[in-house]
């Protein structure tokens, strides 16, 4: 098949949103398909994810719109002189991007949300006969997203409905999100989970990341102050007393200022450390070498799962599920993979576990379920996708 993947975020951009389209492109190409990726160029990101793009994948890079153009658009929006569904730096990128493919023909186009312009280009391509089949992929929901700006709900709901009616297949990352989309599109929605790529773990530095002699418990990724709750964990840490000095709790990623503020409220700033985002190999090294990994469940948003949980599952480091239970999607993954403990918001259980670590000071070894974890190898996920679209 001749396949186009539309992904504004794509390596070397160091974004969790770039990993899914990269892995699909990689394994589609390895399966013998003719794969092209339409993506953005000139992304201002000092870190890369060090992923090697296979040479048989054609990459079409289109510059995103410049800063001045974006500022002018925002000013017009604020002055009420324009209306738009989700303003941002990608808003005008699609115009040049579409021009680059308008004379091509594809058997299948896969577009991945977000940003929404990926779907817009695919919609225009399907309507113009550039592709026979369109897979509209949702890493998150759109109009009903936990991160959505309500100001644009009417427009986004309209566009989402129009796009989804045109798509041949709608994919998303968890059963609850799939069930939500099936309410309006019962016959075209599939669940295609996020996953991991074992090849990503081959180039991790062999040297141990930690050399401080402490019990290092780590979090890597984005902290969402409105959706992640650190109170159960920080309450348990505060109660450690005599064991406190044995630990460091390390947060790598974004929104770390808010983490520092919360740690200060619990008087545990002396053992809570925050760091900016690190490159991908370093992130995987931290996951491998920590004594335990902090996973923060999204509050009140059934079905939200990040790609991070699959990396954690493959890391062979025990996962501490904070606010996750055996009934949540991420908690069910932790339970079925046998890679951690779901504490929900039980402060006493978290405290007892940390105290146990403090006494023993050795890394606990999981007994993971390899057959279950292998389901989320992107090679196997891509095989499922091929069977559906061929």
Q: Residue 260 belongs to what H/E stretch?
A: helix 256-265
Token pair of 248 as six digits: 């460091």
Is the confidence at residue 83, as pLDDT, over 70? no
Give the up-direction half-sphere exposure of residue 134: CA atoms within 13 A in the CB hemisphere.
24
Q: Which of 47-51, 178-182, 222-226, 270-274 has the lowest mean pLDDT?
A: 47-51
Work out the number of other CB atoms within 10 angstroms of the CB of residue 292. 21
Do residues 334 and 322 make contact, with C-beta atoms less than 8 angstroms apart? no
Token pair of 286 as six digits: 């931290």
- Residue labelled with tokens 């680059």: 100
Higher pLDDT, 130 or 83: 130
**Taking residues 191-206, what's their average pLDDT?**
94
- Residue labelled with tokens 């930690």: 210
Q: Place 66 in a pLDDT band, splitting at 50, 70 and 90.
A: low
Name 152's Cβ contacts closer than 8 Å, sequence gap at least 6. 84, 85, 86
**Taking residues 105-131, what's their average pLDDT?**
96
- pTM of the predicted model, to two decimals? 0.89
Do residues 337 and 372 make contact, with C-beta atoms less than 8 angstroms apart? yes
- Burial label for 31, CB within 10 Å (0-12, 13-18, 19+), is middle
- Going from the C-alpha of 341 to that of each of 18, 139, 294, 357, 366, the distances in angstroms are 29, 25, 10, 14, 10
Can you give the pLDDT at residue 337? 98
> How would you classify the pairing of strands 131-138 and 106-113?
parallel
Rounded (to 5) percent helix, strand, coil in the chain:
40, 20, 40
Go through the domains of the chain in sequence order and give each one's CATH number. 2-192 (3.40.50.2000), 200-374 (3.40.50.2000)
Is the confidence at residue 73, as pLDDT, over 60? no
3-state secondary structure of 244: helix
- Going from the C-alpha of 239 to that of each of 350, 352, 354, 356, 363, the distances in angstroms are 10, 10, 10, 13, 21
Do residues 253 and 306 make contact, with C-beta atoms less than 8 angstroms apart? no
Token pair of 83 as six digits: 């209306």
Q: What is the pLDDT of residues 136-155, one digit of tens each?
A: 999 988 876 655 554 556 77
Is the confidence at residue 292, as pLDDT, over 80? yes
Q: What is the pLDDT of residues 220-276, one digit of tens each?
A: 999 999 899 999 999 999 999 988 999 999 999 999 999 999 999 999 999 999 999
Do residues 176 and 298 make contact, with C-beta atoms less than 8 angstroms apart? no
Name 103's Cβ contacts closer than 8 Å, sequence gap at least 6. none
Higher pLDDT, 342 or 52: 342
């Amino acid at each position: 098949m001749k396949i186009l993947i539309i992904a504004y975020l794509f390596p070397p951009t160091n974004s969790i949103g770039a990993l899914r389209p990269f892995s699909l492109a990689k394994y589609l190409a390895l399966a013998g398909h003719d794969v092209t990726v339409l993506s953005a160029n000139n992304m201002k990101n000092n870190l890369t994810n060090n992923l090697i793009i296979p040479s048989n994948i054609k990459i079409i890079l289109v510059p995103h719109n410049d800063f001045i153009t974006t500022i002018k658009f925002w000013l017009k929006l604020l002055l009420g002189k324009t209306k738009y569904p989700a303003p941002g730096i990608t808003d005008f990128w699609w115009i040049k991007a579409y021009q680059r493919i308008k004379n091509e023909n594809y058997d299948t186009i896969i577009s991945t949300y977000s940003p929404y312009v990926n779907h817009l280009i695919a919609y225009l391509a399907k309507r113009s006969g550039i592709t026979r089949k369109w897979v509209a992929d949702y890493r998150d929901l759109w109009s009903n997203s936990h991160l959505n700006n309500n100001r644009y709900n009417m427009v986004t709901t309209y566009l989402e409905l129009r796009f989804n009616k045109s798509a041949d297949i709608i994919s998303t990352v968890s059963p609850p999100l799939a069930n939500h989309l099936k309410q309006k599109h019962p016959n075209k929605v599939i669940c295609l989970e996020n996953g991991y790529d074992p090849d990503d773990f081959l180039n991790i530095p062999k040297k141990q990341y930690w050399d401080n002699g402490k019990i290092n418990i780590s979090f890597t990724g984005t902290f969402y102050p409105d959706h992640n709750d650190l109170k159960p964990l920080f309450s348990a840490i505060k109660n450690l007393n005599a064991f406190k000095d044995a630990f460091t709790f390390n947060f790598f990623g974004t929104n770390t200022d808010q983490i520092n503020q919360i740690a200060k409220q619990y008087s545990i700033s002396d053992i809570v450390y925050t760091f900016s985002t690190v490159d991908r190999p370093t992130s995987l090294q931290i996951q491998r070498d920590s004594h335990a990994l902090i996973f923060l469940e999204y509050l009140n948003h059934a079905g939200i799962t990040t790609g991070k949980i699959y990396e954690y599952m493959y890391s062979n480091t025990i996962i501490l599920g904070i606010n996750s239970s055996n009934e949540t999607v991420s908690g069910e993954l932790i339970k079925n993979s046998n890679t951690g403990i779901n504490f929900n918001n039980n402060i006493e259980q978290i405290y007892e576990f940390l105290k146990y670590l403090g006494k023993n000071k050795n890394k606990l070894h999981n007994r993971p379920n390899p057959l279950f974890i292998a389901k989320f190898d992107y090679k196997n996920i891509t095989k499922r996708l091929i069977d559906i679209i061929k």
